Amino acid sequence: MNQSTRLIFVGLVIFSLLGSILTFVLNRDAPPVAALEIPQSTKDFFKKLSDLGHIKFDFVDSLDVDYFDNDKDYADNFKKVEDDNFIIYYRDKPTEKLRAEKTLEYANQAVPELDRFFGKYHYARDVNNRKLPIYLAVSESDFSKVAEKVGGKAVPWAAGLTFTTFSSDGTKVCDGIVLSSTVQDDGPTDLKTVVYHELAHYNHFHCMNILEKTEYMNWEVEGLASYFAKDWNKKIPEDTKINTLSLTEDPDNYIDSYWMGYHAFGLAEELGCLKGILKNSYSESLIRAIPKNAHCSMSEFDVKWRKHCKEIVLQQ
């Protein structure tokens, strides 16, 4: 190799190295490339979540615009009250009409709060003009029947059910929310709180980019809805061995995911990083979104969270 060939060779090596470094630097903070279809692991997570809890998912190949049409809602023997964003279906009784009007009022109260909390509310105009249907069941058997018609099996212990259908390309539609007969103003389960919890699920799933986000946690889903609704799920069972739990994995008992998430988001709010975590979590794992925004490692956040939970137990 003569002098000039050697110089050309060295030049090429340096050029290619600089190219690689530049590519690395440019891609380091680039968002993940979205898949063209929902990954199987994501479908598996949502199917398992459907089996465990009160939020139900279905997957179809595609969702055409007809699927969003409220004229195709299940409405047999129902009356309705509606506005620009919601339709409340209720059975024909004076007390149920009052309950429906209250439900509509609470749903509208929740909208600006959801918009602030999640950074965006999904109005009817954002979802092919579909008004969100909320069904009020009047008995246990009515709850099961309406659930079957709207999207699938009811869960006997649930106060509310939220049914969502995803198409392979990531489009989604809320088939409806069904509330059990126990959900009443001053009832065994409080109407306003349950409306807030179910609407949080509706809006959260609509904020998520499920073609980009590949890792999900049960505590993220239930904790967030409970935290937004400020509901009863914050109670930490007294015999809980907090030291054995970590936010990096879901608990064995699904019910624990409610309070675990509730207090993880509560801690994030105390630390002033809740909004940033939420924004990032729509397209990536919480395990990555938390350290980015809390300015500490996930294991350090875990330590803070366990300490926070122990303080909560003392206050209960």
Near Zn ion by CB under 5 A, which window of 72-80, 164-172, 221-229, 298-306? Answer: 221-229
Residue 189 C-beta: closest distance to Zn ion, Å:
12
73 vs 220 by CB, closer to Zn ion: 220
Q: Does 277 bind Zn ion (CB under 5 A)?
A: no
Residues touching Zn ion, count (CB under 5 A): 2
32 vs 188 by CB, closer to Zn ion: 188
Other CB atoms within a 10 A radius of the CB of residue 192 amount to 17
Using the CB atoms, write b or e for 140-175: b if 16+ within 10 Å: eebbbbbbebbbeebbeebbbbbbbbbbbebbbbbb
Residue 229 C-beta: closest distance to Zn ion, Å:
9
Contacts of 190 (CB under 8 A, 6+ apart): 183, 184
55 vs 127 by CB, closer to Zn ion: 55
Residue 158 C-beta: closest distance to Zn ion, Å:
8
The answer to whether 146 and 177 are in contact (CB under 8 A) is no
Q: Does 200 bind Zn ion (CB under 5 A)?
A: no
Please identify which residue in 225, 260, 277, 294 interacts with Zn ion, judged by CB under 5 A. Answer: 225
Contacts of 93 (CB under 8 A, 6+ apart): 138
110 vs 225 by CB, closer to Zn ion: 225
- What is the three-class DSSP state of 105? helix
164 vs 293 by CB, closer to Zn ion: 164
Residue 49 C-beta: closest distance to Zn ion, Å:
10
Would you state the torsion angle of the CA atoms of residues 286, 117, 229, 158, taken in this order, to the nearest 10 degrees?
-60
Residues that bind Zn ion (CB under 5 A): 222, 225
